[in-house]
Amino acid sequence: MPRAALDSRVVAVFRAVLVTGVAAVLAGCATPPDRGSGAAAGLAAPTGSTAAAAAPAAAGDLEAYVRAADVNGLVERWFEESLALSPVGATFIGDSRFDDRLGNPASLEFRRATDERDQRYLAAASRIDPARLEPSARLTHEIFLRDLRLAIAGRRFPSELLPVSQMDSLYATLAVLGSGTSAQPFGTPAQHAAWLKRAAEFPAWADSAIERLREGLARGVTHPRPVAAKLLPQLDQLIAARPEDSVFWGPVRMLEGDVPPAGFTTADRERLAGEYRVLIGTRLMPALRKLRAFLADEYLPNARTTVGWSALPDGARWYSHLAEVSTTVRMEPAEIHATGLAEVGRIRAEMEAVKRQVGFDGDLQAFFRHLQTDPRYYYERTQDLIAGYREITARVDAALPKLFRTFPKADYEVREVEPFRAQSAAGAMYQPPSEDGRRPGIFYVNTYNLKAQPKFGMETLSLHEAAPGHHFQIAIQQELKGLPRIRRFEGNVAYVEGWALYAESLGRELGLFTDPYQWYGRLSDEMLRAMRLVVDTGLHAKGWSREQAIRYMLDNSSLAESDVVAEVERYIVWPGQALGYKIGQLRMSALRAEAERELGPRFDVRAFHDELLKDGALPIEVLEAKVRRWIAGQKAGN
């Protein structure tokens, strides 16, 4: 059963900018928080459609924040500069000031600008005495320093030479925005004009991406050939012979009808259709074709045949850095590998128990094949799958008050993944709502291959992606008051995905998993996360081949082979990213067990969940220290 990452396109907008320099795509909309008082309080420009972006601050301009110990103001200023550097990220958090800019994260100028920014802010933040800060600001200060140091340390590695992958690319982001169904607004002629200007910048990004990829060929830093080949069908999906057949024609199609939509005249509609034809025919399609030709004719034939990150220059150290970014804890790859092996063994034993419970006659491998091939476990119609998920989410939502007392204001809905990206997209994913809730969160289900969406995996997948998983955590975080935006819109894999996996473990308390096959689905998804610890470290630290990794996952799960291949190829291009899920969940589950043990009958699960959620997505080691302070306070009667 396929799963989705909340990755550099999904986890959060500016954690990805901070750590990797790549703007995340799927995040919600921001309103300005209380930036506190003091001499520097008004220096960060507020979010709003008419506000100007803050110009890059010279080191001296940050002095007022340091003198006032105004860490919230400082990180707001950092965030504001980041919006201008990553305008697509601004659109996804609902800030429309930059809707007419694309930016060029593949350029050397972008990398220099992000590094220079982070060096300035690290120097300023390092001079603020944490003893002068109240607890929430102290957390912000601790996280900000940690992330800046990690980001700067990571720039010793040439990640800019890999500006695209089958999992993450600006051309896919552009298509999502340009389809007319995502965060880019198209409600007025002026908003169409903003998009036309933004999209016209795409050829410059494509040229920069080709330059970086070509440099990577020269320096021996490329994607492995099998996964680089996955880029071609993605581009083929976007290249159209006629503008009217392109996904980018979607906004024009929204204007069709006997009468133009409100705010548009017939002349507007005709003019915009002509401008879209020019944009698509003379800017977007030529750039996409040029990129595809380069990949097919020059990049693929010369891409590396190895798969592990350790095969790259300084690859072992690079991989350890990426593992720390993902897990937010200091664990050596060998320790992570051993943890994964132990978890795989434990979960296999529980799967054997399910097999016995349902009376299946055969070994576990035969049970896996039975679950993969018996048609009773799969829907034949897309609409039935979507309806099934909607029924599950309704049941879960009704039971949530048993375990939670804080709920997000924003709603969510279940949707199919769009056809243009379904073939290469994850099996499910979550897009956060706007902070004001006007744009709901979206639980995307990939219906491209119904055999990859078993019925027995639906309860656990719903818990993970919707409530109380990603939607619950991310929407609550976005709605937090009194925090700087970086705290409301940042995220790390270990916390965000660790929470979603922890949310799956709550199923029985919420009245789910009464069917042993649904419980098997829960184990199957947990097995996936445990196998990730083994396979990711196996590929990048232990010399495993692609085929060895695929075989290991097939031997230990009922995942469809197509899903296993997609998973392994994801780990190959996103080394370390998949480690955060299980590490985060294991640490959160251990915190709950510790709280239950220490507090005994005074333990309140709803209060515990509040404590996990109320400060947003914290690095795991920071979260652990905070929760232990809460436990001590509860024991003392505070």
Burial class (CB in 10 A: 0-12, 13-18, 19+), 476: buried
Burial class (CB in 10 A: 0-12, 13-18, 19+), 355: buried
H or E element that contains 415 = strand 412-416
Domain for residue 279, yes or no?
yes
Give the ranges where 126-260 is alpha helix by DSSP (H). 135-154, 170-178, 189-199, 202-219, 225-228, 231-238, 250-253
Residue type, 329: V
Confidence at residue 563, expressed as pLDDT on a 0 to 100 scale: 84
CA 87 – CA 84 distance, rounded (Å): 5
Domain for residue 251, yes or no?
yes
Q: What are 135-140's contacts with CB under 8 Å, separation 24+?
A: 136/482, 136/483, 136/615, 137/36, 137/71, 137/72, 139/487, 139/615, 139/618, 139/622, 139/626, 140/71, 140/72, 140/75, 140/483, 140/484, 140/486, 140/487
- For tokens 């995502």, name the residue: 182
CA 294 – CA 208 distance, rounded (Å): 12
How far, in Å, are 178, 392, 403, 425 from residue 246 at the CA level? 10, 35, 46, 19
Q: Are 429 and 406 in contact (CB under 8 A)?
A: no
Domain for residue 80, yes or no?
no
Confidence at residue 49, expressed as pLDDT on a 0 to 100 scale: 34
Domain limits for position 279: 186-220+225-303
CA 141 – CA 161 distance, rounded (Å): 31
CA 246 – CA 551 distance, rounded (Å): 38
Report DSSP state, residue 295.
Answer: I
Confidence at residue 59, expressed as pLDDT on a 0 to 100 scale: 62
Domain for residue 310, yes or no?
no
Domain for residue 199, yes or no?
yes
- Structurally, the chain folds into a number of domains equal to 1
H or E element that contains 369 = helix 364-373
Domain for residue 230, yes or no?
yes
Q: Mean pLDDT of successive 10-residue segments in the chain (638 residues)?
A: 33 34 27 25 29 60 95 96 94 92 97 97 97 95 96 97 94 95 94 98 98 98 95 96 97 95 96 98 98 98 97 97 96 97 98 98 96 95 96 97 96 89 80 85 93 94 97 95 89 95 98 98 97 98 97 93 90 96 98 98 97 96 96 90
- The candidate with the shortest Cα–Cα distance to 335, out of 530, 533, 544, is 533
Q: Are 401 and 609 in contact (CB under 8 A)?
A: no
Helix (H/G/I), strand (E/B), else coil: 350? helix
Domain for residue 266, yes or no?
yes
Confidence at residue 418, expressed as pLDDT on a 0 to 100 scale: 83
Domain for residue 560, yes or no?
no
Confidence at residue 181, expressed as pLDDT on a 0 to 100 scale: 85
Q: Report CA 104 to chain centroid distance, whole Å.
A: 20
